[in-house]
Structure 1
Amino acid sequence: MPAFAQPLDLLAIAPHPDDAEISVGGTLLTCHRQGLRVGVLDLTNGEPTPHGSPEIRATETAAATKILQLDWRQNLGLPNRTLEHTLEARRKLATVFRQTRPRIILAPYWEDSHPDHVAATSLIEAARFWSKLTRTDMDGEPFHPPRIFYYFSIHLRIHPQPSFVFDISDAIDEKMASVHCYASQFLTGRVQEFPTALDDIRDRARYWGWSINSKYGEPFASRESVRMSSFASTFDFTPR
């Protein structure tokens, strides 16, 4: 695949299909509405699961992609459950970075109990570095994605402090609709007691929205300082 004529502004890397929807679905749709080019790269197909299959998961992913109005989505084809940061996986992901040339990468938070998520973070960080190499046989021109932010797709009962929270108040219904697309993961074969996993996702977005005096939000962490050139956007304290 040659480099994009129009590079992506925002590329979310998801260990499994549904991770992007759960964690950054509102951010992706909001950025798209603001005129940015947004995409998702799923590292695995997420299968096997108790009520899913590769075909079912692909259908669910296509439906969610349409709701979020993504400009681009692909699957890297790495193995689910045994995702590892190998040199071959690093090469494949670095090549995608050289082709899509994203300005911002969204990656899973670096601490989690799910081995696939931890491996994904390590893989993404290394591939970001490799993407800029010059004397290499990788396809595409050298490119170093300028920024990487980490979204909270965390199974541990921990509460990291985010570097910032993105306001998704105007996209919460579409975010939840995109998560609902994954019936095999959240609905099929489940006893729907309250609160459900879907309730939990919405409630977390409500909490993070409250933390920034808004309705709904999605948190992000950064290992590096976040640049600001104006305080103007922080002056609106009107409750939403």
Structure 2
Amino acid sequence: MLETSPFSFVKLPLRPAEFAPQLGPTVVIAPHPDDESLGCGGLLALLCQARVPVMAILVTDGTMSHPNSQKYPPAARRHLREAEFEAALVALGILKAPHYLGLPDGNVPTAGAAGFEEAAEQLRIYISQFSPTTIVAPWRRDPHPDHRATSQLVRAALAQLAAPPRLLEYVVWAWERAAPPDLPQPGEVEGWCLDITSVLDQKQQAIAAHRSQLTNLIDDDPTGFQLSPAMLAHFAQPFEVYLEVKSESNSALL
């Protein structure tokens, strides 16, 4: 996050861990395997600790992290990353089997694009089956195209529900890459931090489950992605950031 920005994640008010169970049954929506652990792993662990039901939905197949690997062709990469996703969920205490949209990594459809309406409808079905009171999804302007497209899918799906659940948005790439227009604007959201000190170790275990994103497990693609130490440091902090839109006027599919 740019230090010169008038908006600062670290200056948001801190809510205690005891706030988490008030969110009730929760669905977490992750664009890629690891976003659930990085962006909101602490919250998910706190919910599970309080025996609040949690269900996870993975949007993409995760295969573009190492697109040139021969040892792990696309089907194997997808299997590996889904296995890591499931291991991370277990580390956080989520035992319910996740749902998979299986959209192409790096090419999640945006509003108006081919496949968008169908994906939003499938997402609506998954959400309706669980009947959550809260949805946790990526910040709508998080600086990654799949994150932004996922946010559009989520909001399109929720718009079709008679009684949409509460929507909380977490940040991942905004810590590192956000330009001023990507950050919340004055009056747009209510932002707050959640104290996750008591479950920080559990969150780190969940992040560590994503070995393909942290190590040379896939070692035959020099262009392959790995999370940098600087990026990981943001998610070793004893708090997580959540943003909640304050008015419907700000809920357009931006």
TM range (shorter): 0.7 to 0.9
For residues 93-125 of structure 1, give each alpha carbon's deviation from its aligned partner in whole angstroms, at most 9, with x where no partner exists.
111121111100011111133111111111100
Amino acid at match of 1:151: Y
For residues 142-199 of structure 1, give each alpha carbon's deviation from its aligned partner in whole angstroms, at most 9, with x where no partner exists.
xx333101101225235846611111101111111111111111111499xxxx7356
Q: Could you tell me which residue of structure 2 aligns to residue 41 of structure 1?
A: 57
Q: Kindly state the Cα deviation for residue 77 of structure 1 after the two structures are TM-superposed.
A: 1.7
Residue 171 of structure 1 is aligned with which of 174, 194, 199? Answer: 199
The DSSP-based 3-state class of the residue aligned with 1:40 is strand
For residues 198-220 of structure 1, give each alpha carbon's deviation from its aligned partner in whole angstroms, at most 9, with x where no partner exists.
563344542xxxxxxxxx10000
Residue 33 of structure 2 is aligned to residue 17 of structure 1: yes
Cα gap change, 1:152/1:204 in structure 2, threshold over 3 Å: closer, same or farther?
A: same
Residue 169 of structure 2 is aligned to residue 150 of structure 1: yes
Maintained 8 Å contact 2:119/2:153: yes
Q: Could you tell me which residue of structure 2 aligns to residue 56 of structure 1?
A: 80
Number of aligned residues: 194
Alpha-carbon distance between aligned partners in 2 of 1:92 and 1:180, rounded to the nearest angstrom:
30
The DSSP-based 3-state class of the residue aligned with 1:150 is strand
Residue 197 of structure 2 is aligned to residue 197 of structure 1: no
Alpha-carbon distance between aligned partners in 1 of 2:165 and 2:83, rounded to the nearest angstrom:
33
Maintained 8 Å contact 2:39/2:235: no
Alpha-carbon distance between aligned partners in 1 of 2:229 and 2:87, rounded to the nearest angstrom:
17
Alpha-carbon distance between aligned partners in 2 of 1:166 and 1:69, rounded to the nearest angstrom:
18
In structure 1, the gaps of 5 or more residues are 1-7, 133-143, 207-215, 226-240
Alpha-carbon distance between aligned partners in 2 of 1:57 and 1:204, rounded to the nearest angstrom:
20
Which segments of structure 1 move beyond 6 Å, counting only runs of 4 or more? none
What pairs up with 1:112-131 in 2 under 5 angstroms? 112-131=142-161
Q: Could you tell me which residue of structure 2 aligns to residue 183 of structure 1?
A: 211
Amino acid at match of 1:105: I
Alpha-carbon distance between aligned partners in 2 of 1:91 and 1:46, rounded to the nearest angstrom:
21
Cα gap change, 1:80/1:204 in structure 2, threshold over 3 Å: closer, same or farther?
A: closer
Q: Could you tell me which residue of structure 1 aligns to residue 131 of structure 2?
A: 101
**Identity across aligned pairs (percent)?**
27
Amino acid at match of 1:78: L
Alpha-carbon distance between aligned partners in 2 of 1:122 and 1:29, rounded to the nearest angstrom:
26
The DSSP-based 3-state class of the residue aligned with 1:76 is strand
Alpha-carbon distance between aligned partners in 2 of 1:108 and 1:205, rounded to the nearest angstrom:
18
Q: Which has the higher contact order (CA 8 A, sep 6+)?
A: 2
Alpha-carbon distance between aligned partners in 1 of 2:103 and 2:201, rounded to the nearest angstrom:
31
TM-score computed with the length of structure 1 as normaliser: 0.73
Cα gap change, 1:120/1:172 in structure 2, threshold over 3 Å: closer, same or farther?
A: same
In structure 2, the gaps of 5 or more residues are 1-23, 111-115, 185-189, 248-254
TM-score computed with the length of structure 2 as normaliser: 0.69
